[in-house]
Amino acid sequence: MDHILTILVFFPAFAGLLGFVVDKGSARAYGIAVATIELFIALWLWMSFDGSNGGMQFVEMLPLVPDFGISYYLGVDGISLFIVILAALMTLVGMISMSIEKDVKNMIISLLFLEMTMVGVFVALDAIVFYVFWELSLVPMLYIIGAWGGPRRVYAAVKFFLYTFFGSLIMLVGMLFLAYLYHDVTGTWSFAITDWYALVLPMEYQVWLFIAFFFGFAIKVPMFPFHTWLPYAHGQAPTIGSVILAAVLLKMGTYGFVRFSLPIFPDASVMMITPIAILSLIMVVYTAMVAYAQKDIKQVIAYSSVSHMGIIMLGVFAMNAEGISGSIFLMLSHGIVSGALFMLVGVIYDRTHTKELDKFGGLAAVMPKYATIFGIMLMASVGLPLTIGFVGEFLVLLGFYKVSPMMTIVAGLTIIIGSVYMLSIYKRTFFGRVTHEENKKLKDLNSKEIISLVPLVAIVIWLGIYPKPVLEPIDNSVKALVSFMEKKAQTQEAKDIIISTNTGEDK
């Protein structure tokens, strides 16, 4: 177990390199085998994880550039553990369900390298190592969209790359300045995130550094008004690209806020609660309304994904254990549900070669298995009780209610809007008579699609009914984080808000 995180990070990349000598006809089976082993290692990590310990576990440290305090520094806690498992799970099911026939070998290699970067981001505890994995994740996704996407794939890929790369550069400036401040205070250089936690920064530094990191994380989320790259990326990406993008890559942004912004800049984070909450609510309401107006079923899911990310952001900035734990659980929920919905859209596109809602209708009679799984995932997306979506949304709203009851009511009402447009597309797609003659001959889910989707359905129901195995380790780490923020906050206002939102008292 001493090097299990290193194995988790680099095993997919090592296998990807070996993939160049694998026969083209065996590439898919090879990729699935590698992704299965990676998932088992991630589950082994979970089984070995002490859920009662809220601190970092399985820590690895190796100096890389000692003179500047850059180290190969890895660790995992309850906040990052399940996002790592999510990355491994969605990579595997995405490969199993993948219908791509063109250059399958190159796609498999790209996915394995992408898996390395995703896992690396969530276990890195050195800012430079984190940044390297963060930026490297752009390369395979750029290739996946650009090589296997739709007619405007090059435009979508370049837009995705430029947006996220620009935000990352601003974040890098913030990282370098933070390391300089650490050196100015202690006399030594360090890029270790845990060392930065000990810094007590003046308010003006906190605000500017918070803004620098905000650009990197907010564009990745993506928050309004930086969200415009995402619908293009989803619209042009192949199904597997949309699955990984929605399920895992977007979570890098929200994870970054929890890992960097809240503990390093607690006073600035408190000061930014209202502006970020307003942006999040705009993001939730606006994208929900845009989703309702779409005629392309994939664009409906894409805008719906942005809307749900707004709820996650509310939870992150609730500044209490309920809200932050709910947001992390909602990251997992959103990853599984949105990934499954994009897979389901891919299923119908492979059969009809269209994503236009008007081309469907009455599919429940033709594809009952498909309609059942789509319905379960749709209900989880709108937060139906006893599904995984309800747990996270309930905790987020419960946590943010302590910050602003009025904003929480607005956020809650948007769930109703989400229910309206999701139920609307379900009605138009599956109910009534079959409106197009060619759809009467459509085949239901095949064995490959069932194998990839049924485990996700099981997780959606299991964690909706009994979330404790996942929620308890998350909550323990979040409580440690919030306690640290309470102690570190300098202004009385920040102390009052963090303390009152954790006790339920009026501010």
Say whether the peptide bond before residue 225 is cis (omega within 30 degrees of 0). Answer: yes
- Which of these, 304, 312, 256, 305, lies nearest to 279 by C-alpha position? 312
**Residue 151: DSSP 8-state:** T
Per DSSP, the residues of 222-281 read TPTTSTTHHHHHHHHS-HHHHHHIIIIITHHHHHHIIIIIHHHSHHHHHHTHHHHHHHHH
| Parallel/antiparallel/unpaired status of strands 70-76 and 57-65 | antiparallel
Whose CA is closest to 440, among 345, 352, 356?
352
Q: What pLDDT is recorded for position 500?
A: 64
The phi, psi pair for 360, rounded to 5°, reads: -105, -170
What does the alpha-carbon distance between residue 174 and residue 166 come to, in Å, rounded to a whole number?
Answer: 13
> Residue 138 in contact with residue 218, Cβ under 8 Å?
no
Kindly tell me the burial class for residue 332, based on how many C-beta atoms sit within 10 Å of its own C-beta (0-12, 13-18, 19 or more).
buried
**CA pair distance 60, 125, nearest whole angstrom:** 9
Which amino acid belongs to residue 457? V
| Intra-chain end-to-end CA distance of the chain, in Å | 45
- Check if the beta carbon of residue 241 is closer than 8 Å to that of residue 463: no
pLDDT tens for residues 423-447? 888 888 888 788 777 878 888 888 8
Q: What integer pLDDT is reported at residue 377 of this predicted model?
A: 93
Mean of the per-residue pLDDT values of the chain: 89
- Which of 159-163, 255-259, 396-400, 410-414 is predicted least confidently? 410-414
Quick check: pTM over 0.85? yes
> Which amino acid is present at 101?
E
pLDDT digits (tens, 9 = 90+) for 266-303: 999 888 999 999 998 888 888 888 877 888 888 888 88
Q: What is the model's pLDDT at position 130?
A: 95
The pair of three-digit structure tokens given for residue 335, joined into one six-digit string: 């990853």
> Model confidence over 353-404: pLDDT tens digits?
888 888 888 888 889 999 999 999 999 988 889 999 899 999 999 998 888 8
Is residue 504 pLDDT above 60, yes or no? no
CA gap 431, 363 in Å, rounded: 7
Instruction: Quote the tokens at residue 158.
Output: 């370049």
Distance CA 300, CA 289 (A): 10
Query: 182-208, pLDDT tens digit by residue?
Result: 999 888 999 999 999 988 888 889 999
pLDDT at 506: 43
pLDDT score of 125 more than 90: yes
Residue range 111-137: average pLDDT? Answer: 95
Residue 505 clears pLDDT 50, i.e. is over it: no
- The Cα 71–Cα 32 span in angstroms is 32
Residue 98 amino acid letter: M
Question: Is residue 220 over pLDDT 80?
Answer: yes
H/E run at residue 208? helix 203-220
- Paired tokens of 185: 């205070």
In one letter, which amino acid is 293? Answer: A
Q: What percentage of the chain's residues is helix, strand, coil (to nearest 5)? A: 80, 5, 20
Place of tokens 């993506």: 222
For residue 345, what are the contacts with CB-CB under 8 A and spacing of at least 6? 239, 242, 297, 298, 301, 355
How many CB atoms are closer than 10 A to CB 230? 26
Task: Quick: pLDDT tens for 93-122.
Answer: 999 988 887 888 999 999 999 999 999 999
